[in-house]
Amino acid sequence: MAELIYFTPTSLDGYFADENGNLDWSAPEGIPGRTPAMLDFTRIWQAADKIVYSKSRDTVSTPKTRLEREFHPQVVRELKAQSPFDISVAGPTLAAHAIRAGLVDEYRLLVVSTMLGRGTRVLPSNIHIRLDLLDERRFANGMVYLRYHAQG
Condensed to tens digits (0 to 9), the pLDDT of residues 4-59 reads 999 999 999 999 999 999 988 887 665 756 678 778 877 877 888 888 888 888 88
For the chain, domains (ranges, CATH) are 4-150 (3.40.430.10)
pLDDT value, residue 45 = 76
Within 8 A by CB and 6+ apart from 24, the residues are: none
pLDDT value, residue 136 = 97
Q: Is the pLDDT of residue 128 over 80?
A: yes
Query: Residue 132 forms beta bridges with which residues?
Result: 149
CB-neighbour burial class of residue 69 (10 A; exposed 0-12, middle 13-18, buried 19+): exposed
pLDDT value, residue 8 = 94
pLDDT value, residue 34 = 67
pTM for this model (two decimals): 0.86
52 versus 135: which is more confidently predicted? 135
Mean pLDDT, all residues of the chain: 90
Smallest Cα–Cα separation from 51: which of 107, 97, 106? 97
Count of helix runs (H) and strand runs (E) in the chain: 3, 9
